[in-house]
Chain A
Amino acid sequence: MEKLLLLGDEAIAQGAIDGGMSGIYAYPGTPSTEIMEFVHGSKIAEDLNIHRLWSANEKTAMESALGMSYAGKRSMVCFKHVGLNVAADAFVNASITGVNGGVIVVSADDPSMHSSQNEQDSRFYAKFTMIPILEPSNQQEAYDMAYYGFELSEKLNVPVMLRITTRLAHSRAGVQRKEMKKQNQLKLPSDPRQFVLLPAIARKNYKKLIGMQPAMEVESEKSPFNQYIDGADKKLGIIAAGLAFNYLMENYVDGKNPHPILKLSQYPLPEKQVAKLYNQCDAILILEDGAPLIEEMLRGFLNLGKPIHGRLDGTVPRDGELDPNVVAKALGMEVHEGQVVPEVVKNRPPSLCQGCGHRDVFEELNEVLLDYGTGRVFSDIGCYTLAALPPFNSINSCVDMGASITMAIGAADAGLVPAVSVIGDSTFTHSGMTGLLDAVNKNSPITVIISDNSTTGMTGGQTSAAHGRIYEICKGLGVDPEHLITMIPLKKHHEENVKILRRELEYKGLSVLIPQRECIQTFARRKKSEKNESNE
């Protein structure tokens, strides 16, 4: 079989395709987006007609994947770590229903928050839902785990979490493909009430899930992804989870490790292997590219055993991603830094593109808000969040997708009137619509600006779920048509738009304004491909 040069994300996609996946469900989010995008570009996926459309949000994605599993087929769900919060209700309950066709849930964590609001560690979710976690240390394992994950899920009757972090998601290396497996046939669950979580059934299912724990541990003990690598110097034993293993080995010249290492890539923790390391060594160092999950388990609340080193005792910094240098320091090795960065080097933060419609929206809004004072703009997550930075300094919040409308409602309830919310089209359909219904029902004195660039811009321009239908959706939700207005955010409409904004901010009820102009990036791409087509 051929060897491919793939990002970690792409390796997961290829592994799932080769492992017999019938459908992939996802909502974009860095660093997970390229999994679905790779499937979109895959000729095999097209030929096999693998289902591969974006979902409106992570919850709908998780539920659709579970539905495909119910029908007996293999499905994958992908999102970034905070997407797991959105999908959590379905995710947690899916461990109680169990699966029919195998389900892999890919959650891409972002330690150091390269493009995220927090650095939560998805493994905690999998731990309390009591399902296995696969955590690859390299691109080949990412492929192999997606390939084997469906079988593991079917064998243990639970979804399996595949947890990656940013650096693996976005790093390329050679990957060896395996033989393609056939997709499952359509087949109903043998127990017709397996997925009916009435309390009486749920209680029974939950006991079954608890009963499966020893079997899950057996899988971890014999997993090829977990490896006990002996070393002569037993003063220290090292547990290296997922990607941390690579950073560890980088520090050992020619791969020769002085201390015993447990390379850990499949959970629940393999108790025998962990006990062996613990018993053989005087102290344990734990390396995790995320929160101290294994460390807390080994240390215990009272920390009465052997010394356990890691993030909790300061051997490794408490927050942020690992890298070879952080690990070197934890090993007590000296780090030889190159030159210092000269002072002439200035920060270069990301910024809104020149020619972006969001720019005009904020110029208009800033002008109108001069009359009211600052501190009343609740924003959401998307390119427009960059308006928090100079030169705009326009927005006062960015918390989670959809929160702009609902936070404005609460602030207005408290007396901050008018309150403004700014949200993008994709975020609006992801989780803004329900909040808008609240605002309609209370006629909240807020002005909602849905800055519609017809795409999911921040993550690279994926299809927006309700392209061209935002106005109709707002109308359908019950927004008063007199206060539901579309605008064109262009310099030449500046005065006119400012007038509308001023009027609607004065209105003591709900207004929804929809500035509409295509994203400059997708526009440029569209023009280029149109030009190429006409040349052919």
Chain B
Amino acid sequence: MKSDIILGGVGGQGILSIAAAIGLAALKNNLHLKQSEVHGMSQRGGDVQSHLRISSKPIASDLIPKGKADLIISVEPMEGLRYLPFLSKDGWLVTNITPFNNIADYPSIEDLLKQIKAFPNHIAIDADAIAKAAGSSRSSNIVMLGAASPFIDIPYERLEDGIRQLFGKKGDELVNTNLKALKAGREFTEKNR
């Protein structure tokens, strides 16, 4: 198996927590993994991306070649579109629809949704609202992971283990809210794909 995933967002939105949860799950499944991250200058309110590659075979490049990604997970509606050149023909775009507007010429949400919906394989989810309903507005990234989980070739239970490991130190309550967030995201996709 192989999953090549691009994570997109804005510096400070914490996309690396999604990568970490998938990474921990992949390790538990004895898969190979490479994950390239962006640090430094672009972190401050700029666009950030991470390339996450999981495979049952050894992985050569740390970067995903153009047109080869199976999945884009974006925690922001404009940022997912930025990485379309990486997406393969039958790849999926899974994106949050809550904008992070910190620039003067940020497009209208209608224009963004039009572009997202023009794309056949898409999931557009209001992760912030779903996270809030699940009990923690700060779990929207994990909602996004849940929404993307049907497209990642790792058993769902392993992703749950990843969440447990990631948040375990911070107490059971946080683990449970995030497990709930994960499930809510997954259910949304199952209903809307």
CB contacts (< 8 Å) of B69 on chain A: these are 338
Most buried by B among A30, A339, A340: A339
Task: State the CA gap A243–B32 with chains docked (Å).
Answer: 18
Taken together as a complex, chains A and B put the C-alpha atoms of A33 and B39 apart, in Å, by 10
Q: Which residues of chain B are within 8 angstroms of A344 by Cβ–Cβ distance? A: 78, 81, 107, 111-112, 115
Interface hit among A85-93, A216-224, A247-255, A504-512: A247-255
CB 8 Å contact bits of B30-63 with A (1 = contact, 0 = none): 0011111111111111110001000000111111
A171 touches B36 (CB 8 A): yes
- Cα(A172)–Cα(B23), bound, Å: 10
Whether A52 is near chain B, meaning CB under 8 Å from some CB there, is: no
Q: B21: shortest Cβ distance to chain A, in Å? A: 13
Residues of A contacting B65 in the complex (Cβ-Cβ under 8 angstroms):
250-251, 323-325, 328, 335
B41 touches A114 (CB 8 A): yes
Q: Which residues of B contact A352 (CB under 8 A)?
A: 44
Residues on the B chain within 8 Å of A339, using CB: 84-85, 87, 119
A74 at the B interface (CB under 8 A): no
Q: How many residues of B contact A (CB 8 A)?
A: 53
Task: Using A114-B42, A173-B34, A342-B81 as known contacts, say yes or no to A249 and B111 having CB atoms under 8 A apart.
Answer: no
Q: Which residues of B contact A345 (CB under 8 A)?
A: 78, 81-82, 107
Asked whether A341 and B61 contact (CB < 8 A) given A7-B37, A30-B39, A351-B45, the answer is no
- Identity of the chain A residue whose Cβ is nearest the Cβ of B86 in the assembled complex: A338
A351 touching B46, Cβ below 8 Å: yes
A314 within 8 A of B: no
Q: How far is the CA of A524 from the CA of B43 in the complex (A)?
A: 16
B47 touches A386 (CB 8 A): no
Say yes or no for B150: interface residue by CB 8 A criterion: no
Q: Cα distance A347–B89 when bound, in Å? A: 25
Q: Which of A171, A246, A460 has the most CB of B within 10 A?
A: A171
For the complex, is B88 an interface residue (Cβ under 8 Å from A)? yes
Q: With A340-B84, A351-B102 as known contacts, state yes or no: A250 contacts B46, CB within 8 Å.
A: no
| Nearest neighbor of B113 in chain A, beta-carbon distance | A344
Contact A171 B37 (CB under 8 A): yes
Taking CB atoms, residues of chain A closer than 8 Å to B162 are none
Q: Is the CB of A31 within 8 A of B40?
A: yes
Kindly state whether residue B185 has any CB partner on chain A within 8 Å. Answer: no
Q: Is the CB of B42 within 8 A of A336?
A: no
A192 at the interface (CB under 8 A from B): no
Which B positions have Cβ atoms within 8 angstroms of A?
10-11, 23, 27, 32-47, 51, 58-67, 69, 78-79, 81-82, 84-89, 91, 102-107, 111-112, 115, 119
Query: What are 11 pairs between A and B in contact, CB < 8 Å?
Result: A30-B41, A114-B42, A168-B62, A171-B36, A172-B35, A247-B61, A251-B65, A340-B84, A344-B107, A345-B78, A346-B106
5 interchain residue pairs of minimum CB distance: A30-B40, A350-B46, A115-B40, A250-B61, A115-B41
**Extra contacts besides A173-B62, A255-B60, A386-B44 (16): CB < 8 Å:** A115-B40, A115-B42, A168-B62, A172-B33, A172-B37, A173-B33, A336-B66, A338-B86, A338-B89, A339-B85, A347-B103, A348-B47, A348-B78, A351-B46, A383-B44, A390-B104
